[in-house]
Amino acid sequence: MMPIPEITDSFTGSVNRITLGATKEQGGSRSCTITVGGAKNVVYGGRPDQSQSKPVIAMDVIDCKPGNWPDVLSEPYKGVLDNPSDWAKKCVEEFGADLICLKFDGIHPDNANYDAGHSVRVTEQVLKAVGVPLILWGCGNDEKDNLVMPKVSGAAKGENCLLGTVKENNYKSLTAIALADGHYLISEAPLDINILKQVNILVSDMGFPLEKVVTYQATGALGYGIEYAYSIQERQRMAALTGDKMMAMPAICDVGNESWRAKEAKLTDAPGWGSAADRGPMWEAATAACLLQAGVDIIRMRHPRAVAAVKNFINQICQ
């Protein structure tokens, strides 16, 4: 096999390096911190000192029992799906999650429509249950997120969490509260470089430091726009390397949710497609591995078998 040629091009810019979480000595309660970003070259390119920090996996924990997960995805979490703190503990202690992404689907008006009190209790319980840094992710309903997420942010003040998401037409409330509570911020765009750049500009205009922003481009799964999602992430990395400060942020992708929405991942009655117990985790792992090669720093995932496969992939390419 021919050796892979070393890409030695020099770039003027780099991806910001950020550290999530705060230990007791730093004013928080986390047992560890997680550092991501820092790339000064394309993926696999340049000298070892130009590479990004090792990508990390955030496992999803939902604030209420999921009603639409297929059995093959729910089975590994049997007994904890209605208890977010036990769920988070299982993800960290048994499945090796680097981060916990606490997703507040239960506050959505079309779901359980939980109030801020519920969300604060869940946040506090998960913080006590695990020592890894947290991602606090709203439900996607702007009105409800603006009511609830400031309370969630306050409950985790001092923990250097990653809070989100802020969008072009809904950024002021969460940006202000993340700034006040000392959290990092997720800026979101619908697979559009220009919109994402505009969100980052708006956030910066409010005085929020760009060095504390992580970007999120709506993720496409394998077979459902993965090539477009890949190209957007690749373009963002190149923009950062060529000195665009408004695009120099680490990136996060929502691989778990998007992968398990695909019928190829979750259908059980599919003769000729193979076992659903194998197919679903493989679909999620393949999606994650693809986006990692585009330069993504944080991967949100769900199935523990997929997590194990991707962690093995990361450990092999980031030695």
The predicted pLDDT at position 6 comes to 55
Beta strands in 125-212 (DSSP E): 134-137, 162-166, 184-189
> For 155-209, what is each residue's pLDDT tens digit?
999 999 999 999 999 999 999 999 999 999 999 999 999 999 999 999 999 999 9
Task: Give the mean pLDDT of 86-108.
Answer: 98
**Measured between alpha carbons, how far is 314 from 233 in angstroms, rounded to an integer?**
18
Render pLDDT for 23-69 as a digit per residue (tens, 0 to 9): 999 999 999 999 999 999 988 888 888 888 999 999 999 999 998 89
Say how far apart CA 133 and CA 95 lie, in whole Å: 16
The reported pLDDT for the residue numbered 124 is: 98
Q: 224 or 20, which is more confident?
A: 20
So what's the pLDDT on residue 24? Answer: 97
Domains of the chain: 25-317 (3.20.20.20)
5, pLDDT greater than 80? no
Return the higher-pLDDT residue of 5 and 217: 217
Average pLDDT of the residues of the chain: 94
Cβ atoms 292, 314 nearer than 8 A: yes
- For residue 1, what pLDDT band results from cuts at 50, 70 and 90? very low
